[in-house]
Chain A
Amino acid sequence: MVGGLFIIITSQNYLKKVVGLAIFQTAVFVFFVSLAKVLDGTAPILTKMANAYSNPLPHVLILTAIVVGVATSALGLALVLQIYKNYETIEEKEIESLELKSDK
């Protein structure tokens, strides 16, 4: 999780930022799934063998969050593509210097 956040903050490349965001979000998803584990629990399918079940609700929540995450990444990548088409670079520093030039 911290790794993902680190990538977002430090990297100068917009593409890497989107990837960092995805890593950051995935870490949170894993955190949620780990909450669901019940000691000695099996998959939440009704059988006579099991005496405890894992909690299925966090899994469902994360299923929703994964969809949201996919949409976020997709939109992020689409924006990076558009930025590349308009600026012909996706490096933060180069874009900043381009903008400074155009402001003058």
Chain B
Amino acid sequence: MFDIFLDDAPALVVVLPLLISAIIAFMPSKIWPWIISIFTLLLHLFLSLHLLKEISVSGLIIYEFGNWEPPWGISFKIDGVNIGLQLLFSIFVLVSTFYSRKIFLNEIDYRDSGKAYSLWLLAVGSLNGIILTNDIFNLFVFLEISALASISLIALGAGQNRKALLAAFNYLIIGAIGATFYVIGVGFAYAMTGTLNMNDLVIQLAQYSDGQLAIFAGMSFMLIGLMVKAAIFPVHIWLPPAYSYAPSAVSTLLAALATKTILYFFVRLLYEVFIIYPSYLSLFLDFVLYPLSLLAIFIGTVIAIYQDDIKKLLAFSSIAQIGYITLAFSLKDHSGVASGFVHIFNHALIKGGLFMAVGYFAILYKDRVTLNSLKGFGYKYPITSFALLICGLSLIGLPLTNGFISKLYLFQALYTNQMYFSIALVAVSSALAVVYFWKIVEQMWFSEVKFKSEKEDAYIYLPIWIVTISIIVFGIYSTPIIEFSNLSADYLISGYQN
């Protein structure tokens, strides 16, 4: 009987959170929405593990909704590219949901917690849809569900600071413009090919072998729309306020996973569909994505140094880190794409851990965490502070942390492509990351003020430490991440070389 459910696992990982979110929306209770969410996400993790097992046997699952065969029906595709991301997503969402309970209770009215978890699950389900979908219009729908859910979650931060409303509003306007650009692109692609399925799109595009202006226009529209959503450098302006004024638990979820899933789809579109026009692709990668990534790395890091507000500092450092990922993806070879995926995994863990720790400080301090307010926190709250230290060292890229593995692979990829200028820039930017992180460390451990250590809440520091330990573990034993990334790159690049 249970097998019936397992057959539909690809659909259930998306549909289950969406369904449960409707059920818990109007629960006035403090605790039940959280318990139900945790159980839903445990089931979600179980289904993801089942998918992993299936993939290791068959290598490819195409799930057709309502048994309508592609290209007519909507389909989900699970293969080597997204299974690793799916697993990371499942695990991280579970951990951050566990973390979110006490944070939500402190930051928003407890009567709203049903609605908050409803939006939370809505965001989870739709982001997972972005990972799995194989249909370009279906992606737009998931993109918008996730955007609307996260905008509402960000606006919940208005109880703390009314600027959250402005941040949410700006995100809404900019995000909606991005999504609409994407739809225009889909319209062009559909007009030329008559299909929305990604695999079929490749086949249909092949008939216009030298390319058509309408297709290039459509592709450009799609890419720009996705760049807005993924916060790639010049169109990132919605991100820092949105992340920094959202409730802490929400910043954790969004910073770790939201932009990553969209980046994943971005790279999939580039290397799976647009690969059919190599000249267009290399034009885009060399003259658009590559310079923009370098600018993002440099400018993001420099702005982060001048931030006083810690959450804003982390948000700007996210811009730089997204720059590292897109830089790796712009390299057009196996090592580049693989190192991009390595950094997607590692950065999700690092930023998640950092936002979790800072979110806890915000609750302890009962105000926004600025550099000054961190004075002596290293002695006052040693457990959380130490986790923050490790996550921060990993952000810089010290050995024994997973940030080092990312940097190592990125340098290797750049070196094989003989991009010495980029190597220098990445190294400088890592050094600058030391500057902004050192400012935090200095306030926390080396200020005049001394405190006795106070009791910390185990419900909050346990998830933080789960993330921190995974950072160390993957820094020493990095094989799983490397293997998943190589698998992803194998699938994507094999199309490129043929």
Contacts and interface: CB of A to CB of B under 8 A. Distances in A.
A86 B183 contact: no
Contacts of A25: 176, 180
A28 B187 contact: yes
A75 B151 contact: yes
B165 interface: yes
Contact of B165 (A17, A21, A32, A82): A82
B141 A64 contact: yes
Q: Binding site of B, secondary structure by majority: helix, strand, loop or mixed?
A: helix
A72 interface: yes
Max chain B Cβ within 10 angstroms of own Cβ: one of A21, A31, A65, A99: A65
A88 B239 CA distance: 25
A32 B187 contact: yes
Interface in B154-202: 155, 158, 162-163, 165-166, 168-169, 172-173, 176-177, 180, 183-184, 187, 190-191
B109 to A, nearest CB: 14
Q: Binding site of A, secondary structure by majority: helix, strand, loop or mixed?
A: helix
Contact of B152 (A17, A64, A75): A75
Contact of B176 (A21, A61, A64, A83): A21
A33 B185 CA distance: 14
Contacts of B183: 28, 32, 65
Contacts of A58: 187, 190
A99 B163 contact: yes
A68 B169 contact: no
Interface string B134-159: 00010011001000100110010010
Contacts of A72: 144, 148, 172, 176
Contacts of B152: 75
Contact of B187 (A31, A75, A86, A99): A31
Nearest to A71: B148
Nearest to B144: A68
A103 to B, nearest CB: 10
Interface string A72-96: 1001100110110011000000010
B148 A79 contact: no
Contact of B172 (A24, A35, A61, A75): A75
A35 B177 CA distance: 21
Contacts of B141: 64, 68
Nearest to B175: A72
A73 to B, nearest CB: 9
B184 A83 contact: no
A86 B158 contact: yes
A19 B108 CA distance: 30
A79 B148 CA distance: 12
Contact of A71 (B144, B177, B180, B191): B144
A83 B169 CA distance: 9
Contacts of B166: 83, 95
Interface of A: 5, 8, 14, 17-18, 21, 24-25, 28, 31-32, 35, 57-58, 61, 64-65, 68, 71-72, 75-76, 79-80, 82-83, 86-87, 95, 99
8 contacts: A18-B173, A35-B187, A35-B191, A58-B187, A65-B183, A86-B165, A95-B166, A99-B163
Given A18-B173, A83-B169, 10 more contacts: A17-B173, A24-B177, A28-B183, A61-B190, A68-B140, A82-B158, A83-B165, A83-B166, A87-B162, A95-B166
